[in-house]
Chain A
Amino acid sequence: EAGVTQSPTHLIKTRGQQATLRCSPISGHTSVYWYQQALGLGLQFLLWYDEGEERNRGNFPPRFSGRQFPNYSSELNVNALELEDSALYLCASSLEMGITDGYTFGSGTRLTVV
């Protein structure tokens, strides 16, 4: 069974540009979560999608947005990139809504803003 896959693995963008990060959940998982891990910080909750709807978002500005597609894959968009957006972005999926024990994380996308 394929795990959670994220693409690209690495992404380098210029300040002010937009970044799009992608996540494919484990087959059958309907919930997708996005987390940011900036240097020296723990994982910060960004967004939670389930059945195509945004269920909750963390304390991030509106320029962080995303969506979930009918096949449950998800996209995270970061607009007007700032240097401090440089971080590892992790996606996780779970079989049931809000079941955190069953989180399976992908390996992440390393975003570097220059």
Chain B
Amino acid sequence: DQQVKQNSPSLSVQEGRISILNCDYTNSMFDYFLWYKKYPAEGPTFLISISSIKDKNEDGRFTVFLNKSAKHLSLHIVPSQPGDSAVYFCAARIEYSGGGADGLTFGKGTHLIIQP
């Protein structure tokens, strides 16, 4: 049972336009969400995160929105640039009261292609 779902395997966006990557989750215990970006032959790199007590977090061109009632989050990239072409993974975490955290639960990823 996949707890973090990225239903779009790929997304093509024109350079300069907005890219919107979506992610749905099923486990209501998740309280922290992250986006990672992965280039071929490299490991994923952390991009942006959001706590469940917030509904928006912004960092430069990247904004993550969280809709807890819908168990949905999205990553907006504005404006999209050629270097943004990569696979984007959504990830979620349960923070235990005892400190530390379980491993991240990742989605399958969305391949974003920025067209010139």
Contacts and interface: CB of A to CB of B under 8 A. Distances in A.
Interface of A: 4, 33, 35, 40-46, 48, 50, 55-56, 58, 90, 92, 97-108
A56 B45 contact: no
Nearest to B105: A45
Contact of B107 (A42, A105, A106, A107): A42
A56 B104 contact: no
Given A90-B44, A98-B99, A42 B106 contact: yes
A101 B46 CA distance: 7
Given A42-B109, A98-B99, A100-B93, A90 B34 contact: no
Contacts, number: 66
Ranked nearest first, the 8 interchain pairs of A and B with the lowest CB-CB distance are A105-B43, A45-B103, A98-B100, A98-B101, A42-B106, A43-B106, A42-B108, A97-B100
Interface residues of B, number: 28
B53 interface: no
Interface in B88-116: 89, 91, 93, 95, 99-109
Interface string B4-44: 10100000000000000000000000001010100001111
Nearest to A90: B43
